[in-house]
Chains A and B, each alone.
Chain A
Amino acid sequence: MQKAKSIELEVAVVNGIELPGHWNRMFEPRVISEYDLSVLDQVTSIPGAESLGYCYQCGKCTAVCPVETVGDYSPRKIFRKTQLGVSLMDSPDLWLCTTCRNCLRVCPKEVNMIDIMPAVREQAVLEGKAPAELLTAFENTARYGNPLGEPPRKRTEWVKSAEVPVPVMSQVKAPVDVLWFVECYPSYHPRGKDASVALARLFNALGVEFGILGTEEKCSGDSQRMAGEKGLFEMLAEHNIKMLSKYQFNQIVVTDPHAFNAFLHEYPKYGGQWPVQHYTQFLAPLIDQMHLTRPLNKKVTFHDPCYLGRHNGEYEAPRDLLKAIPGLDLVEMGHCRETAYCCGGGGGGMWLDSFTRDYTSQRLSEKRVLEAVEYGADILAVTCPYEVSRFEDAVKSTGNGGRLEVKDIAELLAYSAELI
């Protein structure tokens, strides 16, 4: 094995002054250079995964990684294990990251797990090394356009319970102001549908000219991309862009922060460039027109979705909306805004529940629900479709049933506006 050369200069000239380097020079290769780095090199040679090699093990990420608090995992550990020759491709570690972005927020070396994870996972998927339950979600998405495996034709079934007009673009045949991209969980999951009904009624009450794609809509695919199925993401992006391009609208409004992320950063790469807002951003300037009359005398805390907050910098719109509800007492949890904890659903975590259970002591959603209870909240307000089901399950599994409610912000607004 070739020994590493010392990297320090023998002499440096700074502002004309000659500084000899003998006092800090590394005359012998450090112990670290004695490692066989071929396994690390294998990972960092994957396009997107280069920055894993930048880690200098300061451990800042370990202090903020949500998975670390329930398991033996952090980006620093990933680097260290890989450096020691443990194959990341074959390690369960590869599937535990929820791409919450908290490590990147504090990393002085910009080791970027948001790029590393999908890149390495893509390789693992190609080599047939992905957990079976994740592959089922991929197959469902490829076949049905949603990870739940629900019939594509039933994507608009929820509209019936809205009891207000929810125009489908293929039938509208006229330009609209807002193209509402509903997404999968808000279309199919029973509790997700509740938020969609609430939002549909809010849009109607506000007189928003809107339309949905209906059965022409497929999953935005962002979480599948983060989970390592880039090809699937591309297929979905091409489909959605093709469908959206048929219609005229001023902007896209999304229910799902993951779709928000896709429309903001990924779809433009495939030719789909439209102004996009999360529904909380769209509604926040319209607070005065919402007639929020029914008080909600409850202590409410808000869980910042990773892909709305840390990934895309929106912390105020959801809070502005909550504060506008009369009687509502907004309390912040210790982990909030930039430091918010993760629900565990991002980066494919939504489809890895059984797998993750084998390597962690607790679900991230359970940890978060306990924090909300600790702060005395009656309601945990959310605004990402993954969260309602995750947190409601966690409320039950931590024995807090009846003590903490989980509600989408759209549900709380519709309640206060006497629409539900």
Chain B
Amino acid sequence: MRILVLTKSVPDLVEELVLDEDSGELLHDEMTYVPSEWDDHAVEEALLIKEDSNADVTVLAVDTGDVDNMLFTALAKGADRAIKLQGDFDLSTSNRKRAQAIAHYVKENPYDLILSGVQAIDDIDGQIPAMVAGLLGMPHASVVTDVRLDGDRVHFHQEYGGGLQAELASQTPVVLGIQAARKPPRYASIAKVRQMMKSSVLEEVEVAVEEVPELEIRRFFKPVAAGHAEMIDGDAEEVAERIVSILKERNLVRG
């Protein structure tokens, strides 16, 4: 079983996002980038599958600059190989174009199971796994947890409305958007990451991407705050009383 995990880096929200005041563009160079949290979960799920079944795990990132650390960290956690897709990409490259590049690569280099974080905070559109599946004509599921291999089939869970969980099965190859891994993503010690940087190489694969239909971002802006929080002053008794009356006013308590 060959597993491919799609990873990307996203702006780190610990720092404030910087917008160009005139053009409303996000200033990518002013931001720091960190691995997408959902992709961390996809990597973890792949490594757990590997522990269960001896699968071979490859992590992939579109080279938008500064993805090396993310890939070496995945290797330190236990991934077998890391691929950097190179071409005409930068931090503003759209998901549509990234999906096209990944699809080109997978066409030449087949995998049985392709995992990706279900979405990423930079666009929250969850398109990468769906588009990769679409471009490759593979089955796809989104918001997936608990991925297990059963012979040459893949079983996994998906959350439905009304508090239902469904267990689904698929033939391979299949593309899944991972909501959460079975366990919290593991820690890679810095010594191990640094050792990986010295002892392993990231495989660089050149991909050319034709023109793809894309959306244009006209501007970014921060939403105008509609209301403000009420700060409750006073001693414990007064604060408690106010909280109780708010809960009653808004019908949040029964009886």
Contact = CB atoms under 8 A, between A and B. Distances in A.
Interface of A: 122, 125-126, 128, 130, 132, 135, 138-139, 142-144, 149-153, 229-232, 234-235
11 contacts: A126-B189, A126-B191, A135-B187, A138-B187, A138-B190, A143-B14, A143-B34, A152-B15, A153-B15, A231-B190, A231-B192
Contacts of A132: 184
B191 A142 contact: no
A235 B194 contact: yes
Nearest to B15: A151
Given A132-B184, A143-B34, A231 B14 contact: no
Interface in B154-200: 184, 186-187, 189-194
A122 B191 contact: yes
Given A126-B191, A130-B187, A229-B189, 9 more contacts: A122-B191, A126-B189, A139-B187, A143-B34, A150-B14, A151-B16, A152-B32, A229-B190, A234-B191
Contacts of A138: 187, 189-190
B195 to A, nearest CB: 8
Interface in B26-68: 32, 34
Given A143-B34, A144-B14, A153-B15, A231 B187 contact: no
Contacts of B189: 122, 125-126, 138, 229, 231-232
Given A143-B34, A144-B14, A125 B194 contact: no
Nearest to B30: A153
In terms of DSSP, what is the predominant structure of the interface of chain B?
A: loop
A142 B15 contact: no
A154 B192 CA distance: 29
Nearest to A139: B187
A235 B190 CA distance: 8
A128 B187 contact: yes
Nearest to B190: A231
B45 to A, nearest CB: 16
Nearest to B32: A152
Contacts of A126: 189, 191-192
Contact of B194 (A128, A152, A231): A231
A86 to B, nearest CB: 24
A231 B184 contact: no
Nearest to A141: B190
Nearest to B34: A143
Given A125-B187, A128-B186, A143-B34, A151 B14 contact: yes
A139 B190 CA distance: 9
B108 to A, nearest CB: 34
Contacts of B186: 128
A275 B14 CA distance: 35
Contacts of B187: 125, 128, 130, 135, 138-139
In this complex, the member of B15, B184, B186 whose beta carbon has the largest number of chain A beta carbons within 10 angstroms is: B15
A142 B190 CA distance: 8
What 5 A-B pairs are tightest by C-beta distance, nearest first?
A231-B191, A231-B190, A232-B190, A135-B187, A151-B15
A235 B191 CA distance: 9
A94 B45 CA distance: 29
B14 A149 contact: yes
Nearest to B193: A231
A125 B191 CA distance: 10
Nearest to B12: A143
Nearest to B184: A132
A125 B188 CA distance: 9
A3 B110 CA distance: 59
Contacts of B191: 122, 126, 229-232, 234
Contacts of A235: 190, 194
B231 to A, nearest CB: 18
Contacts of B12: 143
A82 B97 CA distance: 57
A52 to B, nearest CB: 22
Contacts of B15: 151-153
In this complex, the member of B14, B34, B184, B192 whose beta carbon has the largest number of chain A beta carbons within 10 angstroms is: B14
Contacts of A230: 191
B170 to A, nearest CB: 30
A128 to B, nearest CB: 6
A143 B37 CA distance: 14
Nearest to B77: A128
A106 to B, nearest CB: 33
Contacts of B16: 151
A135 B32 CA distance: 21
A230 B194 CA distance: 11
Interface in B1-33: 12, 14-16, 32
Nearest to A134: B187
Nearest to A125: B189
Nearest to B194: A231
A150 B34 CA distance: 14
A81 B103 CA distance: 56
Nearest to A127: B189
Contacts of A149: 14
A234 B192 contact: no
A178 B189 CA distance: 34
Contacts of A142: 190
Contacts of B193: 231
Contacts of A229: 189-191
Contacts of A232: 189-191
Nearest to A233: B190
A229 B194 CA distance: 12
A151 B193 CA distance: 23
B51 to A, nearest CB: 12
A389 to B, nearest CB: 21
Contacts of A143: 12, 14, 34
B123 to A, nearest CB: 22
A234 B14 contact: no
B174 to A, nearest CB: 29
Contacts of B14: 143-144, 149-151
A166 to B, nearest CB: 22
